Structure 1
Amino acid sequence: MKSLLSVCLIAALLLCHVLFSQASEREKRKGEEFQSNGKSTNSNIKGKSNNTTAPDGRSEVVSPGRKVKKTGNLRISMGPGSDISCTRLGGVCQPKRYICQGRYLEDKCSGAKTRQCCTPVGAWSVLCAGHHNNRVRACDVHGCGAFNSQRGNGLHKAVDLVCDDYGLVNAPFSGTLAGPVTRKDGAGSRYDGVKFLSDAQCVKIFNIRPYRYLGPVAQGQALGYLLPLQERFSGITSHLALQMCDGTDPSRFI
């Protein structure tokens, strides 16, 4: 009788152990399936996200319409345009309805057409040494120095600035000399000079003898000296001539 009871007790213990083991195995499988589903969901979320990582480690959202430029390990958002053409002239981009103490220049600012570049008075420094400002040549027996003034059968597409014979001519802005230039007037007279340009501007300066025709020049540095005009044109006001490379009026800069 005692042997039978012992056998029954052992059998019961074995059955309980088997049931407990099966229950533990089922719980373990459920846990693994839950973790697997969680990783899959996170992967899908990361794949659809438009987030980028900012330099300080925070997440930064990038809208679908914006361009992103990669620079090393950093991603820099590129804006719709740039005002650099205006700032290089020392100006500020602003709505034209605002008062500008200098002059407004078109096509130098990004955004709407109503935003224009307000440049300070005298955006260029004084060209002729010994003068306090860039003074436009008035009318004399040989003509007038303003832009579009009558010159023979045509119009004067330059601006004449009063200078002294053999006086130093200084660079009006920092830029690069780009070689010699020559022009002739209606009477066949020839005028020599040099082309001077920067990233934002290009101008031809006539009636001067440059010290050199190529290379970089800083603002205010001597470019050369004024060629005398009195010897050829008695009674004329000695001057240099400024002509923009695109034929526009340089008066807004001087």
Structure 2
Amino acid sequence: MLLRICLIAALLIRYVLLSCALEHEKRESREFQSPGKNADISPKMKRNYTADSDGRRQAVTTRKKVRKAGSRRVSVPLRNDIGCTRLGGICQPNRFICQGRYLKDKCSGAKTRQCCMQVGAWSVLCAGHHNNRIRACDSHGCGAFNSKRVNGLHKAVDLVCDDFGIINAPFSGSLAGPVSQKDPAGNQYDGVKLLSDVHCVKIFNIHPYRYLGPVAQGEALGYLLPLQERFSGITSHLELQMCDGSDPSPFI
């Protein structure tokens, strides 16, 4: 009887020791596997998770702003009608009739909306003439803007005038001093600069009464110098040049 009790006690002790050993092995296997699962997710590949209605977590990708190298955003300045109205024009669709001529890039809105410059925006420069008539072609050349010359294109317009005729201010402004230029043959042409808040012009081949001070539109600036002595058969004219080299034809 005593032998039987000792045998049962020994079996119980062995069972308890075996159970403890198995539990210890399970703990070690869990601790060993947990770092491996976390190691699979690198810091660069982390994601945000949100719980779904069924309790499962779902990965949510984050949006990033990507800038392409070399790409630039160019800001386009907004156009308005001030550039047209300051010149004395009216902004309207170019399908409408304009008694003068249209200027581009002076109005807001679509490109078909352009600045209509009325005829005679400036007053007549040459006294005794009813309009500002551009010099036609003669044996010495043509007077229109961008006409071909020996040294390139003519970046001015020649207005027909009479020798020693009075030259009037085309618009109100201020005289800003004398101007002069030479042609390839060495001939020098003198004149005066006239400017306002909107326009700036150089008037050549005239003898100004003065070079500084305010002037009103239509006021006498001087008289035309004759060209017949140097260029026989040429049409007497003055040369009107915009300070920025643009075409003054829409204003005359």
Deviation at 1:250, TM superposition (A): 1.2
How many residues of Structure 1 are paired with residues of Structure 2 in the alignment?
Answer: 175
Give the TM-score taking structure 1 as reference length: 0.64
Identify which of 88, 91, 107 aligns with 2:89: 91
Structure-to-structure mapping, 1:1-254, within 5 angstroms: 83-254=81-252
229-238 or 84-93, which moves further after superposition?
84-93
Render the CA deviation track for 1:134-177: whole Å, top value 9, x for unaligned: 11111222111111112124221111011011100001111111
Partner of 2:176: helix, strand, or coil? strand
Q: Give yes or no for contact 1:193–1:206 (8 Å, CA) kept in 2.
A: yes
Partner of 1:232: helix, strand, or coil? coil
Higher radius of gyration, 1 or 2: 2
Partner of 1:86: helix, strand, or coil? helix
Q: Give yes or no for contact 1:147–1:159 (8 Å, CA) kept in 2.
A: yes
Deviation at 1:112, TM superposition (A): 4.5
Cα separation, partners in 2 of 1:156 and 1:81, compared to 1, 3 Å: closer
Deviation at 1:94, TM superposition (A): 1.9
Letter paired with 2:142: C
Cα separation, partners in 2 of 1:154 and 1:81, compared to 1, 3 Å: closer
The list of structure 1 runs, each at least 4 consecutive aligned residues, that deviate by more than 6 angstroms after superposition, is: none
Q: Distance in 2 between matches of 1:190 and 1:138?
A: 22
Letter paired with 2:191: G
Deviation at 1:89, TM superposition (A): 2.8
Q: Which residue of 2 aligns with 1:34?
A: none
Give the TM-score taking structure 2 as reference length: 0.65
Q: Which runs of 5+ in 2 are unaligned?
A: 1-77
Partner of 2:198: helix, strand, or coil? coil
Render the CA deviation track for 1:50-83: whole Å, top value 9, x for unaligned: xxxxxxxxxxxxxxxxxxxxxxxxxxxxxx8753
Q: Distance in 2 between matches of 1:196 and 1:184?
A: 20
Partner of 1:109: helix, strand, or coil? coil
Q: Give yes or no for contact 1:85–1:200 (8 Å, CA) kept in 2.
A: no
Deviation at 1:95, TM superposition (A): 2.7
Partner of 2:181: helix, strand, or coil? strand
Q: Which residue of 2 aligns with 1:73?
A: none
Partner of 2:249: helix, strand, or coil? helix
Q: Which runs of 5+ in 1 are unaligned?
A: 1-79
